[in-house]
Amino acid sequence: MEKTDILSMNKEELTSYIVSLGEPAYRATQVWGWLMKGADIADMKNIPAALKQKLSENAFVATAKIAKKQVSKDGTIKYLYEMHDGEKIESVFMRYKHGNTICISTEAGCPMGCAFCASTLRGLSRRLLPSEMLSQIISTEKDTGERISGIVLMGIGEPLDNYDNVMKFLHLVGSPDGLNIGYRHISLSTCGLVDRIGRLAEENFPITLSISLHAADDETRSSLMPVNKKWNIAELLTACRAYFDKTGRRISFEYTLVRGKNDTVASANKLADVLYKYCSGMPLHVNLIPVNNVVERGFLPSEKSGIEAFAKTLEKRRIVATVRRTLGSDIDASCGQLRSKS
């Protein structure tokens, strides 16, 4: 019999489950408290031995266990976490002036095949459970002793490829009974699964949607991101427009600058053209990311002067452009460098 994943349950579901084991409902509140602190069944101190016994026979806690921890000179911490079945993923803890943010993985490996990214080198191993996304946060808070107030779903995997589990995770993480992290401090990044962007608009989570755009014409984008062959730029930006119209939430566009590929002033103008064509009237914000080194890939970042010229061109066209500050590059914790090393 498969064991029940109790950390993927909300408080009501956990209560019904505990009652179904023949226990009073208040035990669920105690168990819930332990789960949010990162305890395993054996560590639940005020729970009677008989209930712990029943729980360990029928259920499991999907605890993310630290397999490796690297601390960057800028204070960023990268964790290699081992899941209950031995699968490994990475999470990155970052300290900002406005609070601590964690970058979590949503899948072990990634099926999307982007040309510049390390996470997809070995394809998708499996999708993570809601509990496994939650436990990356709980384990990191436990290890650092610090509260996390922001989350970016920008680690390994494509969040919208693991749609139902990510939605369940979002419900859990924002729950006032649980970690209670505000949706306005949560960003979800996608390579552009257009059908799922439409569904996400209906969910009413006031999160920030980030779109990995990376090119302004289909030929270049398809050469970098295979997903563009399924949904091209026009379809993607039309979906963004519809998302904005439905939710009123700002969308952030990510653009990785690769030397000689998509980083000229002409590319910047093309980007502005295409954003205005499909998304005019929306607040336009482009996050520029100089491509990070991935040894197997060999792409080079643009020169500093090129990056500045690119950003200036966008600004002249009244598009807000920010160059992403690179945290943790000395420990390979930057965008696109996370992998499921075993």
Buried b (16+ CB within 10 A) or exposed e, 238-256: bbbbebbeebebebbbbbb
Binding window for ligand SAH (CB under 6 A); candidates: 42-50, 90-98, 174-182, 186-194: 186-194
Q: β-pairing, 107-109 with 124-127?
A: antiparallel
Q: What is the Cα–Cα distance from 159 to 182, expressed in whole angstroms?
A: 18
Q: Is 57 or 195 the residue whose CB approaches ligand SAH more closely? A: 195
Binding of residue 289 to ligand SAH (CB under 6 A): yes
Q: How far is the CB of 113 from ligand SAH (least distance, A)?
A: 11
**Which residue from 131, 190, 228, 313 is in contact with ligand SAH, where contact means CB under 6 A?**
190
Q: What's the Cα-to-Cα distance from 339 to each of 43, 140, 172, 259, 324, rounded to whole Å?
A: 31, 18, 26, 23, 20
Report whether 258 contacts 116 (CB < 8 A): yes
- Return the number of other C-beta atoms located less than 10 Å from residue 144's C-beta: 15
Q: How far is the CB of 72 from ligand SAH (least distance, A)?
A: 16
Binding of residue 174 to ligand SAH (CB under 6 A): no
Binding of residue 335 to ligand SAH (CB under 6 A): yes
Binding of residue 158 to ligand SAH (CB under 6 A): yes
Binding of residue 189 to ligand SAH (CB under 6 A): yes
Q: β-pairing, 77-82 with 88-96?
A: antiparallel
> What track of x and - describes contact with ligand SAH for positions 54 through 93 (by CB under 6 A)?
----------------------------------------
Please state the φ and ψ torsions of residue 249, each to the nearest 5 degrees: -90, 140
Total binding residues for ligand SAH by CB under 6 A? 18
What is the contact surface with ligand SAH in residues (CB under 6 A)? 112, 114, 116-117, 154, 158, 189-191, 212, 254, 256, 289, 291-292, 294, 335-336
